[in-house]
Structure 1
């Protein structure tokens, strides 16, 4: 019998109709059976009443109706016969009762079967699967609630429709071939694409089972369908993500790989293929074929150790490239563990670090070169971060301060080695850095634990500032030898300047003698005059007083000349004082006045007002002026045909410097010699030593000034120098 879906229990309205119809039929049968003389088994028609009531599905009503019909049959039999019962009448009555009983029994059994079938249908409706039965012509005979939910059609809409037309079934194989395979094998499993009632597409996993009748003839197909649309979408998305992940892994500039728990390679990305490496052979062969022979033993031991302990693996080795060259790579791997902590597999990546390795090697060479250069030049590097006060010192800085390398750098260590007299200078420089000064330049002394003195020069500049700190990058130079050499040079220069001054005094002996004898002669004359005024009959004391005052002035003048000569001849250290630059020039002119007159030089002196005040040593500056004046006089010696003129002028330039210019009308200086004029041992004189102008430059530069010459050959020369105007700081120096 073909499996068909019923409508279930009769509705209440239909049941009332059936009950009414059964009552009418029952009354008619009873009337005919009881009141008519018909001698037939009319009561057999009570089976119609039983069947009508049984069709409602109500078991109790069916039993009650069967009993009522049996009772009516007996009552009708008694009413229609007298006391004489014929055998035929009794037989017909018994037949009617048997018919009623048999019909009732069959109806009750059919109801029980219907209930069981209905329960089975309800069980089928409880499943989430869509269960559909259809005959061999594809017409639907059963459509459960799962099918309604999956496809959207109600059972009464679907039953009788052709399944593949209703759902517009699509399959990877033709539907006729699919049906033939079901008939041939009796079952089929696969995926189908169908269209729901709302037009949306679903993908279902279908399982077909063929039902044959007792003769083996195919009668129907039972199909169980599961909606796998979401699963297929997720599988497609997962596949896409896997493809994306594989593409990303292949795009990674590294050799990505995975291996089993025992280290056997199971996956490599495209970067390996670019090196001509595949997994056709064992992983051990792969590693040994690409790792540099010198690096393989250490890497192999580290890899086996990581597998044994389960710890992450890291190693650096050289990997062979497709062209046969080797590049440094960082090889790292981490284990994937299950919920019990057991290693499932290893994931690793080989990262090319060739450039980093070369940079590290270059950095090591650079650091070695820098360390050697710093040691040879005695210059160390210092980085400072403020306001935290963190410092970083190079090795040479530790050597300069004579600290062990394990000391933590800091300003306290610097101050501990600073000379007590220079601590204020160091603190001032540190405070300037705290305030964000762009440049720090400081020279100070260090006092070592054994009493030795070192001279250091520290310079630093502000690095790119960050929001939360200030960083300085600087250099500390040990200038002890330079300072000692400079001190020795200064002493030698002072000695040479002293010798030069003494020599110059010898050259100026005539002028000096004239400057001394002139006031002495004036003293003698004034003394004679005073004597004559006293020897008169009536002494003229007024005239005597004037003569005595004249004698005092001349004596002071002679004393000043001798003092200047002694100062220039005296060997002593330079002394700084605020000096009137005009006065320096006047005193110098007086000392060379005799030579100027002897050479018949017309002198013109122009002085700035107010006079420029400079900070310097009087004797040394006089030496510079006298030397320049004497050079001008000598340049005009032997010149004929034109006047010998010299102009000496003082002035203030740019508001910050006092200038002295000495211009002569001599033969001038050639362009070739102008640049060498102030070099040591350069001279254009046959009997010159070439030290005068060199000493002048040393003196001027030691005073913070500059000296130079301007000349056109044949047009005379101008020798000039500038010195800083004193700003009230001379006493501090």
Structure 2
């Protein structure tokens, strides 16, 4: 194992040479060498031993070589060579045999080889001494330890750094001796070292005097000829003072930064070329993204209208070295701009050249009135776009001049590239004749402008196409803009056409439902019409009898004729109601009494109640609430709910059948109509879908009755729902706005 032997020899040599090279050598070695040489000569020259006794002169050479003197080795070699030849001559005289000559030659070769090897070893030792001296000259702490951590070399720098001498340290385990601590586990550090062949990092260690030190350690693995790791070379530097200075500097920088951040202005610094390099916390508080600093930082900070002037002033200052003095609008976190005084002073070096710029942006909003500097386009964008994502319109307060966005030009059908100036006249020229009055009144406003304009009107385009538009506008704040109104104009043609188609479909469906209901009530209605007609006939016969008497009883005849007229009117009213229910016509909203609607519906359902054995109780409100509604549509809702109640109770044999219809005032704004039956009720699983189109619990139902009822009620500004607390039957609640609180609804 030559590599391993070489490694151990090198380490041992380093240690021995460093630890013992300066020990004083006495003459004991030379005297011992002389005695050995004398003994060997005497034995070789004066005894009849037939062996190569002169070979033992090698011991003499080695003893002299241990003194470290090359000259002494050379002299000793020559001397013992002479003694070898002399001993040969004395012991053999003139009788020289081949074997004796061979022994003499072998002895001389052994002495010469030993001398050469000793001289080479002394040369290597001298070289190692020089290397050790060089290692001891450095201020770095250099040490060598094996893979087990045992120290094999410890230079003067290590003695100075850690306080232990080489004699005290060699043979100790480095991590036990210095109480090593690192940010990462030592096992991980060794794994990285063996994997990469080197490692560097910061270690915490303890000196001999107990003082902790921080060292920057650089480790390298020494490998033998086979590549096997044999030892670790470590170079350590004391960075304790550097760390303390760095920590103090960081603390001072922290305090300085805190002081700079406390300044109410936006403090900054820039290079001599004008690139912003440092900003204080006020920049982040203002919502400025300072990640990408440099000359372009002003582009995200300064108002676009002021940016060109700001950049010009800044470039002029950087070029000439003159201080910067500029007034510009600077963006805040909320997107608004505030006037600021941007000033900067140059820092110059010894030659007078600008080294760095230091500046501060001071808020002068109160003095400059930033609101007065906001442009009309800014107010238009902020306010109009807040109201709508479509066309925008701005109106000046004094002369009524307008600003239109490109989308507004498109909606009105004008070319924005033309020389036409936006005006009310252009709007009225496109407005439908029937809507011009309300559009003109809304835009002119009169002496007291309305705070909010919200109207829908129609536009007639040059090709005859009809557009529906929705215009919303509000008064602009006079302190921040010169616009009286800022608003949004939305093209709602598609949605309006969809609504009209849906309304026509619902009207058709409602009419079909009414016809279906009339079909179900045909027998009852025929009975209701037959009954008053039979009363007319009976009263007519009675009147004739009273008149044909010997003395005609005119008073009784008149009473019978009055009954005839009353019965005929009742029959006519029933026919009118049936025709109204069956008639296909648009809704007609009028002022009606809700109780009258209920009475008429109950009257139409009287025959159904009688045929199915249902008792109907009507509980009227004392206030006689009035609603703005379509009488036929509300009757359809009540009849539909009453018919559902009758059909639900028809399935309950032997149980009482009762319907309660009640009206009551909820508050000064609303009235409630409730219809409750004693049927089986609505299952909990069906309540969520009860008003959905095409959902029904009846075997032969279409599932549109309750959906149409909800559409009718909601069109009247009310709501309809199921009272989940009602038991055991079902209780429907209809809430309608009172006529006094309801605005006119146009369907």
Q: TM-score, normalised by structure 1?
A: 0.49
Greater Rg over alpha carbons, structure = 1
Q: TM-score, normalised by structure 2?
A: 0.48
